[in-house]
C-alpha cells in the first residue's frame, strides 16, 4: 500500500497532560510503516465536556503511513491503552490520552468504527489552529471546506499556545 498523509489530533487533561501528549507524539514515531512528518506546538484549551474537568493540552501530528485507516485507528487505540486510557462510555470526559484520526488523505469514511474527516473539526479551535500550524495553507478537508475558511469561522476562544511545545 502506498503511503497516505494522515493528521492525528492528540489531547490529554489527566496525569500531567503535557507529558502525556509529548509521549503520545513519541509513540506515533514508533507506529509500524509510519513516519511523523510534522508536529504542532502544544496548546491548552478549556474542556468541551462535563464541567469540573481540568484544561486540556492538545496537538496535531502529520503522519505518512502505509497503514490502512482502520489499521491506523487500531494502532492509535493501542497507544491510548498503553497510556492508561479507559473507554467507559463517558463522552468528552477527562482522559489520559486521546488520539483521533482527523484526516486520512482525501478519504471520506463513515463507518461504525471511524468517521473521517473527524466530524468535530469545524467547531474545534484546539484542532484547527494546531492543524493550520503544520498543514499546507491550501489544505482542503473533504466535505468540510478549506482549512483557512474553517479556521476563519472558528474563534480561538480559550485556546493558548504553550511556549516550548513538544
Q: Considering 100, 110, 124, 138, which one is annotated as catalytic?
A: 100
Q: Considering 19, 81, 87, 95, which one is annotated as catalytic?
A: 95
The closest alpha carbon to 107, from 60, 59, 72, belongs to 72
- Does the active-site annotation cover 110? no
- The helix (H) or strand (E) run that includes residue 148 is helix 147-152
Q: Considering 98, 110, 140, 161, which one is annotated as catalytic?
A: 98
**Cα separation of 149 and 78, whole Å?**
34
Q: Considering 85, 115, 138, 140, which one is annotated as catalytic?
A: 85
Please, what is the end-to-end C-alpha distance for the chain in angstroms?
A: 30
Ramachandran bin of 97, using left for φ above 0, alpha for ψ from -120 to 50, beta for the remaining angles? beta
- Does the active-site annotation cover 100? yes
Active site residues: 85, 95, 98, 100
Amino acid at each position: 500500500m502506498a503511503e497516505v498523509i494522515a493528521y492525528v489530533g492528540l489531547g490529554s487533561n489527566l496525569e500531567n497532560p503535557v507529558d502525556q501528549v509529548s509521549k503520545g507524539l513519541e509513540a506515533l514515531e514508533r507506529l509500524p510503516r509510519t513516519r511523523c512528518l510534522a508536529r504542532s506546538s502544544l496548546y491548552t484549551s478549556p474542556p468541551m465536556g462535563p464541567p469540573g474537568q481540568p484544561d486540556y493540552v492538545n496537538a496535531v501530528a502529520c503522519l505518512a503511513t502505509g497503514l490502512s485507516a482502520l489499521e491506523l485507528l487500531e494502532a492509535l487505540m493501542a497507544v491510548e491503552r498503553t497510556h492508561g486510557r479507559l473507554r467507559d462510555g463517558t463522552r468528552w470526559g477527562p482522559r489520559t490520552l486521546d488520539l483521533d484520526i482527523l484526516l486520512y488523505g482525501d478519504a471520506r469514511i463513515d463507518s461504525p468504527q471511524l468517521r473521517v474527516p473527524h466530524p468535530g473539526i469545524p467547531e474545534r479551535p484546539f484542532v484547527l489552529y494546531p492543524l493550520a500550524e503544520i498543514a499546507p495553507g491550501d489544505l482542503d478537508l473533504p466535505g468540510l471546506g478549506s482549512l483557512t475558511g474553517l479556521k476563519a469561522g472558528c474563534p480561538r476562544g480559550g485556546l493558548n499556545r504553550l511556549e516550548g511545545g513538544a
